[in-house]
Amino acid sequence: MPQHPADTLTLVADIGGTNTRVALADGVSLLPETIRRYSNRKFPGLESVLRQYVEDEGGVDCKGACVALAGPVRDGVGTMTNLDWTIDRDTLHRATRAEHVSILNDLQAQGHALGLIAPDNIRPVIEAPAAPSQAVRLVIGIGTGFNASPVFETETGRFVAPSESGHANLPIRTPHELKLCEFVETAHGFPAIEDVLSGRGLERTYLFLGTEAGTPREKSAADIMAAVESGEDAIATEAARLFVHMLGTVAGNLALIQLPFGGIYLVGGVARHIAPYLDRFGFDDAFRDKGRFAGFMKNFSVSVIEDDYAALTGCASHMHNIYP
């Protein structure tokens, strides 16, 4: 990589509950040939994934390193929610030898990527009136877990607020959703949004509907979506419909809390796979089902970001802004 001297390079990593994606960036641009993907279950911890990456890139030296992880970050220590991994700044220095390091929540990184995603990678779901460029935006992530972050444009730069909103409890609108909530609560002790709106949540919804029908069966999220596509399994179709409805309700709630007149952006592996069915399974109706505020909900556009590496771009942008 001779055309990119070490003092311009940043190592960026997106650590999800299932997969870690790592790349090098020059400024805000990812270097496509350096993008690598690792399956988390093959590694004992985050430090070893990062060390593996540095080795796979021939012992590369970088000026900065930024990791975005699926879990809360407090006082410079990130803790994964769906994996027994933590990372702190010293470990990140050690693993990458970078001078500047930063640890973000993965949805914060997704927020920092807004404005840098190629238009081809943004799929519109609901249109809304145009808003000023400083209007608040909201990213919602549905993958191994669920989370959301509002994105604020301030006079001193962009601020993306972290949250753990996937661990708030499920909002219930129908008797059937109440039964799903009770099913989730029986298994987990608490019916969190993430227990339905995630890959495992889709699988759990499928099991719930099968159990209700007297034919309990398990299928992976990918197989459920393949069955929806082929139309061969009515329970899979119903699971996707229930999932989409719950997603509309939760996204509508978050919109009312944050007022993202600049748009809502759905990101993550499950969001990308469910995107073609949002219209067919009534996302829009559930999103707008807010009583007197049903008309007000037309202020919010919704899109799906189809770029699997958006969080890496967000890490690069964040580092470029704080260490130009």
Distances (CA, A) of 196 to 142, 143, 167, 171: 10, 11, 11, 11
Nearer to ligand ATP, 38 or 261 (CB): 38
User: Least Å distance between CB 170 and ligand ATP?
Assistant: 17
Q: Which stretch binds ligand ATP (CB under 6 A): 172-180, 194-202, 251-259, 299-307?
A: 194-202
17 binds ligand ATP (CB under 6 A): yes
- Is the dihedral angle over the CA atoms 318, 320, 321, 323 positive or is it negative? positive
| φ and ψ at residue 139, rounded to 5 degrees | -105, 135
**DSSP label at 170?**
P
- Nearest alpha-carbon partner for 315 in 64, 57, 145, 20: 64
**Is residue 166 a contact residue for ligand ATP (CB under 6 A)?**
no
Contact (CB, 8 A) for 9 and 39: no
| Residues in Cβ contact with 202 at an 8 Å cutoff, skipping those fewer than 6 apart | 196, 221, 224, 225, 239, 240, 243, 270
191 binds ligand ATP, rule: CB under 6 A: no
Q: Which is nearer to ligand ATP, 70 or 247 (CB)?
A: 70
Instruction: Kindly state whether residue 106 participates in binding ligand ATP, applying the rule CB under 6 A.
Output: yes
* Binding flag, residue 248, ligand ATP (CB under 6 A): no
Of the candidate spans 131-139, 167-175, 219-227, 254-262, the one that interacts with ligand ATP by CB under 6 A turns out to be 219-227
Q: Which is nearer to ligand ATP, 16 or 162 (CB)?
A: 16
Say whether residue 19 binds ligand ATP (CB under 6 A).
Answer: yes
- Binding of residue 269 to ligand ATP (CB under 6 A): yes
Q: Is 222 in the site for ligand ATP (CB under 6 A)?
A: yes
Contact range with ligand ATP by CB under 6 A, out of 16-24, 120-128, 169-177, 299-307: 16-24
DSSP 192-233: BGGGTSSHHHHHHHHHHHHHHTT------HHHHHHHHHHT--
Residues 6 or more apart in contact with residue 182 via CB below 8 angstroms: 191
Q: Which of residues 129-148 bind ligand ATP (CB under 6 A)?
A: 141, 143-145
Interface ranges with ligand ATP (CB under 6 A): 16-19, 70, 82, 106, 141, 143-145, 198-200, 221-222, 225, 268-270, 273
